A and B are shown apart, each in its own frame.
Chain A
Amino acid sequence: MVNVFSLSKKRVSSLLGGLLLALAGQSYGNELTGYLAVESRSFFSDALYTDQSDYGASASAEVEYYHDWDDYRQRFVATAYARWDPEDSERSHGDIRELYWWREFEEFEVYAGVRKVFWGVTETVHLVDVINQDDAVENLDGEDKLGQPMISVLMERDWGTLEAFALLGFRERAFAGDNGRLRGPLVVDDDKALYQSGAGDKHIDLALRWSQVFGDWDLGVSHFMGTARDPQLLLDAGAAASEQSQPLGLRPYYAQIQQTGLDVQATLGDWLWKLEAISVKQKGEDRQSAAVGGFEYTFVGISDSAADLGVLLEYQFDDRRGLTETTAQNDIALGARWVLNDIQSTEVLAALSVDLDNGSRFASVEASRRLGDKWLLEAELRLFSNTADDDPAYTLRDDDYLQLELRRYF
């Protein structure tokens, strides 16, 4: 008993000692960082639906803390994010992006807590990336994600890297509210989510990913089973029947899926060749598939300057139809990234995607430039044009906007 007690006491004191050392900034990493940002969004056309606004100003903040100890074999990370948007209460939200503990053992690594995990190689669509829910009210591009609670185990061997995930608890997607732009005619009531699984949002999803580098080739194969991150939107007939004055709404329905994914990148000289493909089987439905593939090529030092011009082309295919259909069914996306390589890291990324079936076009321009050491200015322009009435983007046809964001890091 005495031995056990003294051991644990010693452990506690060494942990405390480690913490104190770290706090003093002596031996281990330990840091609090973050940013504050203000954003303005101006829509060029009048709103399609009443209650929607034409201009929005909002503010956001992110704070990250991490701490390493045990000779860098253990780490704690916490990242919190919040946005305040006076125009759309649904866009005002906070999220724990990360809150996890990591430990390295001799043969494997363990993560426990809330994390963000990215899988994939392509630029215009992210098909294989299934771990985290989109933070959909942040941006259309699906690159902002909600933190996902999990326990995962990772091992690196000669035959590759294997990571197994148990995803504990489902994160629902948020949708723009009555006053928000970038939504359809019917508002989605995310308090009324439906689940195919009887366990609802408590369903434990499982995922496995193997990845390996073979010379110029980076390869990944993944499998996910659990609650689909993308909801199907069902008409909320109940609301209309029970209350006459209540407008019709939509309810998100989260199906149970099995999704197998493949991602490959070949880096051959100046060329990057990329492919992502998924096969999705929803419980009780037929198997469906989607793929995106293409290339990226960089012209280095254009016209004797330090600037680089990268061009990319990706073809998007998706045979999901009906409630699960996406905007990328048979589309070509073209992009150009102009990197000035100057002191302010000025960059412009322009992209155009065209639906080869109905001719709908979506254009996007993103530009960023650092101001001094701690400030960053970003501009984003999104244009929907020639939008066909059978395209999922039809409801966004009058939602062209210009967004400016100014960030201050601390």
Chain B
Amino acid sequence: MIRNWPKPRTLIRFAALLTLAAMTQAEPTSLSASQQLGLEIAREADRRDLGFGDNASELTMTLRNQYGEESVRRMRNKTLEQNDDGDKSLIVFDNPRDVKGTAFLSFTHKAGADDQWLYLPALKRVKRIASSNKSGPFMGSEFAYEDISSQEVEKYSYNFLRNESFNGRNHFVIERDPVDPKSGYSRQEVWLDTEEYRVWKVDYYDRKGDLLKTLTLSDYQQYLNKYWRADHWLMQNHQTGKSTELSYKGWRFANGYRDRDFTKNSLARAK
């Protein structure tokens, strides 16, 4: 079996990673003024959320199909910020009952594929899964994995589009294009308010360039006098008529989480 192993592939992939790392190191010089502005806005939004350390929250996901039928999923989420890389997070599912106790560990990376593991409680088995499945639906919902995972600046290229005012707020409207070809989107349009750089709305365009989904965020609360979190996320799919509502509650910061709380071992222990 050993000789059939994909060694060349690993090398090619490694080389690709190095190239990507080199590209992100060097400040891109060929950006137009609007691209530069878009990037600056994304960086500022990221900078304002730096240093949150860790947080925990409870989520209720309500799935609705085009006939108004509902299904509810409940889960708990823990996140640990990393200094030089994407966040680590652990999600434990509570509902529906047949998946209760299933847990999901992910290490997001600024460059390259994320690392993801799934814990299956009936078998007591931890399984490494392919993170390239980022465009797939999360728990049968209208959210894809890539919509809810840590939004690193490096995962997109940017372009400032315009300013827009609604609901008494001024917004920057920026376009962001996923760097990863595995993304389910050709581009996204993001509305951030000019005061706090909070995301209020995202339009997702599918690979063909058609409007696929709109995410609307509301009920922002501030924690530790600095970090804003939206309690309410609504994702509407324009092509299927389905929607998913995400409600967060019980946000807790400064839990003192450590890296050892985000390992395969702690995943297998998650309840």
A-side residues, CB < 8 A to B, are 29, 31, 33, 35, 66, 68, 75, 102, 116-118, 120-121, 143, 154, 156, 161, 211, 213, 216, 218, 265-273, 275, 291, 293-294, 298, 300-301, 306, 308, 315, 341-345, 370, 373-374, 376, 407, 409-410
Contacts and interface: CB of A to CB of B under 8 A. Distances in A.
Given A156-B265, A373-B95, A373-B96, A270 B132 contact: yes
A267 B126 CA distance: 14
A266 B1 CA distance: 13
Contacts of B115: 213, 216, 267
Nearest to A155: B265
A294 B1 CA distance: 8
7 tightest CB-CB pairs across the interface, nearest first?
A409-B97, A293-B1, A118-B125, A376-B98, A343-B71, A118-B124, A341-B137
Given A269-B13, A270-B130, A308 B264 contact: no
B56 to A, nearest CB: 12
B63 A156 contact: no
By DSSP majority rule, is chain A's interface helix, strand, loop, or mixed? strand
A370 B96 contact: yes
5 contacts: A156-B263, A293-B1, A301-B135, A345-B96, A376-B98
Contacts of B131: 267
Contacts of A344: 140
Contacts of A373: 71-72, 95-97
Given A266-B5, A267-B128, A300 B97 contact: no
B271 interface: yes
A117 B124 contact: yes
Contacts of A213: 115, 264
A409 B98 contact: yes
Contacts of B9: 268, 271
Contacts of A68: 271
Nearest to A272: B130
A211 B136 CA distance: 30
Interface string B202-245: 00000000000000000000000000000000000000000000
B184 A301 contact: yes
Contacts of B132: 269-270, 300
B83 interface: no
B17 to A, nearest CB: 10
A316 B123 CA distance: 21
A45 to B, nearest CB: 30
B99 A271 contact: no
A306 to B, nearest CB: 5
Contacts of B37: none
Interface string B1-44: 11001100110010000000000000000000000000000000
B104 to A, nearest CB: 14
Nearest to A317: B1
Interface string B232-271: 0000000000000000000000000000100111000101
B123 A374 contact: no
A163 to B, nearest CB: 9
For B1, B5, B72, the residue with the greatest tally of chain A CB atoms inside 10 Å of its CB is: B1
Contacts of B124: 116-118
A293 B5 CA distance: 10
B113 A269 contact: yes
A187 B126 CA distance: 36
A306 B264 contact: no
Nearest to B121: A64
A409 B100 contact: yes
A275 B128 contact: no
Given A118-B123, A345-B99, A407-B98, A161 B263 contact: yes
B165 interface: no
B97 A315 contact: no
Contacts of B136: 300-301, 306, 308, 341
Contacts of A298: 130, 133
Contacts of B133: 270, 298, 300, 308
Contact of B128 (A154, A161, A265, A308): A265
Contacts of B137: 306, 341
A275 B6 CA distance: 13
Nearest to A368: B98
B157 interface: no
Given A121-B127, A213-B264, A343-B140, 5 more contacts: A266-B6, A294-B1, A301-B184, A341-B140, A373-B97
Interface in B96-115: 96-100, 113, 115
B65 interface: yes
A154 B260 CA distance: 13
B69 to A, nearest CB: 8
Contacts of A66: 271
A268 B13 contact: yes
Contacts of A300: 132-133, 135-136
A370 B100 CA distance: 13
A374 B97 contact: yes
Given A211-B264, A373-B95, A374-B96, A291 B1 contact: yes
Given A266-B10, A373-B95, A407-B98, A271 B128 contact: no
B64 to A, nearest CB: 9
